Structure formats: C-alpha cells, structure tokens
Amino acid sequence: MYFWRQIDLTSARRPILLQNEVDIFVQDGVGLYDGRFKLDGYQNGRVYLTTHRVCYVDNIRSATHSVAIALSQVYRIQFSPGLLRSSPKISLYLLPSSSPSTPIALSSPRPISPAIAALHIQSLDLRASLAAVSRPHSPDSNTAFNWICPICSFSNAMKVADSDGPPPPCLTCGIRPTVSVIEQAKEAIAGVNKAAHLYSAHLPIGGVENENGFACPRCTFVNHPSLLQCEMCGATLVSKNLPPTLLDNAVKDLVVNERYSPSPTPPGVRYNDDDIDYIKISFRTGGERIFLDKLKNVLQDRIWERRTRNIGTVGASQDRRSRTLTQRLPKLGIHGLEIQSVKECQRNLELMHSLNDLDSLMQKAKEMVSLAETFAMRLSNAPGVPEEARTALLESSEALSLSSPIVMREMAGSGDETFYAELARQLAEFLDNGVLVKEGGIMTLFDLYALYNRARGLSLISPKDFYRACSIFEKLRLPFRLRQFRTGVVVVQEAYYSDDAVNSMLIDWIKTTSRERGISLGVTAQDVNQRFGWSVTIALEELETAEVSGNLSRDSSVEGTRFYENLINTFRWNWKKEVFQERY
C-alpha cells in the first residue's frame, strides 16, 4: 500500500474530485495488486479513472478501503491480457511520490507518453535504448545491445558492462555463443550509435548512398540519396550500411527519438523491473481495453499539469461567496475601469469561444455556469428588475450546475450495470444537493427526471435508463429509495423514512389542525403541499394512502376534495336510546 493514498468519498460513495478534476471512466469489479501480491480487502470495488488520479472505491468497505494514486506518478503502463483463469491486468509503474525531481524530469516540454512508448515497444526497455541513442559517444556500462544466437537465431539482450566476462548462454536454447559473436554485436552497436549521432546532428545520411539511392524501410521506395525523408511515405530514411540485424531496432529508436525528444536519464537510476514498484489493477468483469485506451489518453494529455490555467478569470464554486463580496466592492478610479474593461473582454472572448461549437461549450460549461451566476447576481443587485426574472435567473443558474461531471454511457465500463450504478450515484448526489429537501423529502419520479435532465443539459438520458438507475438505489445502499403508490405514481424519497412514518406524520398533523380549526374544516392536497412542501400529486397520494388505511375520510363537493380525520369509523350512535329513550 505504499503508493495508494486514502481518499474521501461523497455521500453516494464516489470519490470527491479535486479542483478541475473530471471523471473519465469507471469500471466495476476490479481488484488491486501491489507488485505481484494481491491486496487483501481491495479485491471487489470500482476503479475510477479521472484526469488526475486512478481511484479505487471498495464496494463493501467503501469508507475505509477507498484509495487513489496520482497519475503524475505513473511513468509506464503495461497491459497483460487474461490467460485461462487469470483476469486481464493493467500494471502501472510508479515513481516514488516522495522524490519530486524525477517526475519533473519526466515532464519535459514535449513529454514522452509512457503509454505510447509502452505500446510501441512493450518488452523493450525503453529508457535503456533511448539512452543508447541520445548519448552515442560515451557508451556507458548500461548500454544494451543484442546478439544473435547462431544456433537458434534468437536475439538476446546484453549490457556492455556484462560483455567482458564469459558469454552467457542463449536464453532460448541455452547454448553459449563464442566470444566473436558478442564482439561483432558490440561493434554493430557502435555503428548504430554513430548513425544515430549523424542523424541527431542533422547531417545528411547521403554519405552512405550507392548509385541507386536507398530504399525506404517502410515502403521500399528507392529514394534519392540526398533525401532525409522518404518521398512517398515520409518515413525517416536510415543508412543502408547498418547491419541488417540492427536495422530494425535502430529504426524503432529513431522513430521514437524523432517523435518524443527524451529527457536525459539521470545516471545511476536503473530501470530494472526488479527495482520498480508497481501496482496492478485486475479487471474481473472486463472493461480493461477501454480503461487502457482512456488511461493512455489521460497520460498523454497530462491535464493535472494545467490546473492553474483558469485561476484569475473564474474561480471554483467554493469561493462563490468571496467573489460576490469582491463584486460588491466599488471599483474606483481609472484602474477599476481598466480592470472592468479587461474583464468584459475576457467574458466576450469566453462567450465567443463557447458558442463556436457544442464541444467547446461542453468544455467551457463550468465557466458558463459561473458567468450565468454573475449575471444573476448582478440582476439581483440591480434595482428595477422584476422579481420573477430574478428568481428565474437564480433558479436556472442553480439548475445548470451538477456538482460532478455528468455520467455518460461511454464513461462506464463493461456491462450496463456499471453505468446504471454510476448514474444512480450521481442522482443520489444530485438529490443530496438540496433538491430533495426543497421538495419536502419526497418527489415524483417525473419531476426528478425533468430536473436532472435539465441539470445535465446535454446528452440527456432516457426515461428507461433513469428508471433503472433509480431502482437500484437500495441495492447500492444509497440514502434514497423508490416508492410506488397504489395508483402507480412512483416517487423518490429518503430511505430512512418508512412509508408509515411519513403517513402517520401527516395524520397527526391533520388531527391536530382539525382540533384547532374545529371539525368542519378538512385539509386539501394544497394545504398538505404548503405544510410539507410535497408536490400536490404526492400530497394527494399520501392522503389517499391514509384514507385506505382508514385514518382519513374524504369529502367531495363542488369545492373540491377535502380530507378529514375519519370520524365515521369511530362514531357510535344508539338512535333508539338517544332519540326514543328506549332501553336497549
């Protein structure tokens, strides 16, 4: 557990995101490994890939067993597909988080994407070969080279430092090669270094041409000797004089070298598998391919490095209050005017950028929300604005914002279950954000659907998905549940209120009010709506439920339906005795 850090969760048991952090993907049914060993208690959970972290949330002990690692620590990933009974796994090779110098060295202006590198040359020790290319004149003892077994023609890797002793046996057939084989290979690597040096100094490779020019290694088109790049396919041209066995490797290295300028490896740091601590994520219910793809993209984008980008123009929602305070302060003098005009410009720019297309609007959603909020704030402070307009604007800006990025089907891993579970969790967070409190603790499913979809704004969800997500609230142990009234109206309510408790609360209220007002005044659904904040539909349903249980009686007239405490059930009248004084 050296690399994992404990994280905080929302009420719906999703990780609390950092500033500017965005959910990208979630996959259920994963287990964690530290190195080669299973982590006890971390074998059944969900893994969240965000722009900043990989988070693990345990399905059972979520409070104590939820951890994360920062993506900035990851320098290499490796994918091992499932074999027989072993699940597919993704290994994340991590730098120790305590030494800040190493991650900085990695994040050079054009950083190597470890993901891409690992993809291209999975088994090759990337750094070693890159070092061999970038430092050609001082082949240090770490430089590796390959020698070809003369028996089985397997290409064995070897370090220069080890080559002076007796040659090791071939890894495949176990036959020791003669010393001359090793020597030849060593000479060959010197040739590669020379060629690479020539390339890196941008000298024409034309020095090694013959009269036909030479063939492109990719498309075999015979180019003019003075060309650096293939005329047909644009591939980098390599001298033909290289030993054919090393040609391939050299090309690979050069391609890597060309695309990502490597940072100098700190000397003395050895990247052997044995030295590296790594963690593994085991995907027991699939989803590893998508996770891998998304992880590669995230590692390439390196969003965690851009976290300061937006500071200054708009802050996060947390400092909303402080911003309103500063806005109220009068800006005096020319400086104030200048600041205002600069801000105006920024806003205009933001608006223009955002409306370019919908994608960028999505990206700018946060800024737009805060802009809408400032408009609302300005309106509410300005005199002469109609009250409805103010409240409408305030409400709309409230409804615009979901606390976390919207859950989309693409985000969830294999199987619809994960998607519905995530949707349910986000709904729970949404409800928890005061939506349900405003509705008096109960709201109809269609009201919630409309509100939630309005909050999503884009990529709306279908009623079917919505219903399925809501119906697993209880299974996920979220603090909400569905309830169906007898008439078929389905509502969402807080799980810790039982139906009976809600109903007896209503009945008690009616009894006390009828005592206060006298018996002749019943309550209508509107009265209940005002008292408890429930929508009229729900109020009516609750009243009818109480009626079915025999606690209320109704009075239907042209004025509408009113509900009364049920006196009919309890009223006893012995008419023979009371009217005719008979002894019965």
Shortest distance, CB of residue 574 to other proteins, whole angstroms? 8
**Contacts to other proteins from residues 195-254, by CB under 8 A:** none
Shortest distance, CB of residue 518 to other proteins, whole angstroms? 10
| CB-based burial, 81-103: b 16+ in 10 Å, e otherwise | eeeeeebbbbbbbbbeeeeeeeb
Rounded CA separation 232/121 (Å): 25
Contact call for residue 548 and other proteins (CB under 8 A): yes
Shortest distance, CB of residue 529 to other proteins, whole angstroms? 20
Contact call for residue 553 and other proteins (CB under 8 A): yes
C-alpha distances in Å from residue 358, one per residue of 64, 301, 345, 399, 581: 40, 21, 21, 19, 85
Per-residue binder mask for other proteins (CB under 8 A), 48-67, x = binder: --------------------
Contact call for residue 584 and other proteins (CB under 8 A): no
Nearer residue to other proteins within complex by CB, 39 or 506: 506
Shortest distance, CB of residue 512 to other proteins, whole angstroms? 18
Shortest distance, CB of residue 534 to other proteins, whole angstroms? 21
Reference 210, options 239, 232, 236; nearest CA is 239
Rounded CA separation 170/191 (Å): 23
Q: Which residue has the tokens 């601590």?
A: 277
Shortest distance, CB of residue 553 to other proteins, whole angstroms? 4
Nearer residue to other proteins within complex by CB, 37 or 575: 575
Token pair for 573: 């009248």
Q: Figure out which of the listed residues 520, 581, 583, 584 binds other proteins, where binding follows CB under 8 A.
A: 520
Nearer residue to other proteins within complex by CB, 378 or 554: 554
Contact call for residue 519 and other proteins (CB under 8 A): yes
Among the listed ranges 343-351, 370-378, 409-417, 562-570, the one in contact with other proteins (CB under 8 A) is 562-570
Reference 200, options 247, 263, 135; nearest CA is 135
Among the listed ranges 59-67, 118-126, 279-287, 554-562, the one in contact with other proteins (CB under 8 A) is 554-562
Q: Figure out which of the listed residues 35, 264, 550, 560 binds other proteins, where binding follows CB under 8 A.
A: 550
Enter the DSSP assignment of 176.
P
Nearer residue to other proteins within complex by CB, 336 or 550: 550
Nearer residue to other proteins within complex by CB, 272 or 520: 520
Among the listed ranges 223-231, 382-390, 468-476, 518-526, the one in contact with other proteins (CB under 8 A) is 518-526
Per-residue binder mask for other proteins (CB under 8 A), 108-147, x = binder: ----------------------------------------
Contact call for residue 571 and other proteins (CB under 8 A): yes
Bridging pattern class, strands 53-58 and 74-80? unpaired
Rounded CA separation 217/238 (Å): 8
Reference 113, options 62, 74, 59; nearest CA is 74
Q: Figure out which of the listed residues 140, 293, 410, 555 binds other proteins, where binding follows CB under 8 A.
A: 555
C-alpha distances in Å from residue 295, one per residue of 1, 50, 80, 557: 21, 9, 15, 66
Q: Figure out which of the listed residues 580, 581, 583, 584 binds other proteins, where binding follows CB under 8 A.
A: 580
Contact call for residue 566 and other proteins (CB under 8 A): yes
Q: How many Cβ atoms sit within 10 Å of the Cβ of residue 440? A: 18
Nearer residue to other proteins within complex by CB, 167 or 522: 522
Among the listed ranges 69-77, 360-368, 514-522, 532-540, the one in contact with other proteins (CB under 8 A) is 514-522
**Are 239 and 195 contacting, i.e. CB atoms less than 8 angstroms apart?**
yes
Shortest distance, CB of residue 493 to other proteins, whole angstroms? 23
**Are 411 and 425 contacting, i.e. CB atoms less than 8 angstroms apart?**
no
Q: Figure out which of the listed residues 579, 581, 583, 584 binds other proteins, where binding follows CB under 8 A.
A: 579
Among the listed ranges 11-19, 27-35, 162-170, 571-579, the one in contact with other proteins (CB under 8 A) is 571-579
Contact call for residue 437 and other proteins (CB under 8 A): no
Q: Figure out which of the listed residues 274, 556, 581, 583 binds other proteins, where binding follows CB under 8 A.
A: 556
Contact call for residue 573 and other proteins (CB under 8 A): yes
Contact call for residue 560 and other proteins (CB under 8 A): no
Rounded CA separation 434/439 (Å): 9
C-alpha distances in Å from residue 31, one per residue of 139, 422, 454: 42, 18, 36
Contact call for residue 568 and other proteins (CB under 8 A): yes
Rounded CA separation 472/59 (Å): 14
Shortest distance, CB of residue 576 to other proteins, whole angstroms? 8
List 223's β-bridge partners, or say none.
214
List 146's β-bridge partners, or say none.
157
- Categorise residue 582: left if φ over 0, alpha if ψ from -120 to 50, beta otherwise: beta
CB-based burial of residue 452 (10 Å sphere; 0-12 exposed, 13-18 middle, 19+ buried)?
buried
Q: Figure out which of the listed residues 98, 569, 583, 584 binds other proteins, where binding follows CB under 8 A.
A: 569
Among the listed ranges 215-223, 358-366, 372-380, 563-571, the one in contact with other proteins (CB under 8 A) is 563-571
Rounded CA separation 220/255 (Å): 17
500 Cβ contact list (under 8 Å, min separation 6): none
Contact call for residue 37 and other proteins (CB under 8 A): no
Alpha helices in 384-483 (DSSP H): 387-400, 416-430, 436-438, 445-456, 463-471
Per-residue binder mask for other proteins (CB under 8 A), 464-503, x = binder: ----------------------------------------
Rounded CA separation 44/209 (Å): 61
Among the listed ranges 115-123, 252-260, 308-316, 558-566, the one in contact with other proteins (CB under 8 A) is 558-566
3-state secondary structure of 61: coil
Per-position DSSP letters for 218-244, written without gaps between them: TT--EE-TT-SB-TTT-PBP--TTS-H
Contact call for residue 506 and other proteins (CB under 8 A): no
**Are 6 and 39 contacting, i.e. CB atoms less than 8 angstroms apart?**
no
Nearer residue to other proteins within complex by CB, 334 or 579: 579
Q: How many Cβ atoms sit within 10 Å of the Cβ of residue 194? A: 15
Judged by the rule CB under 8 A, the positions of this chain that interact with other proteins are 519-520, 522, 547-548, 550, 553-557, 562, 564, 566-569, 571, 573, 575-576, 578-580
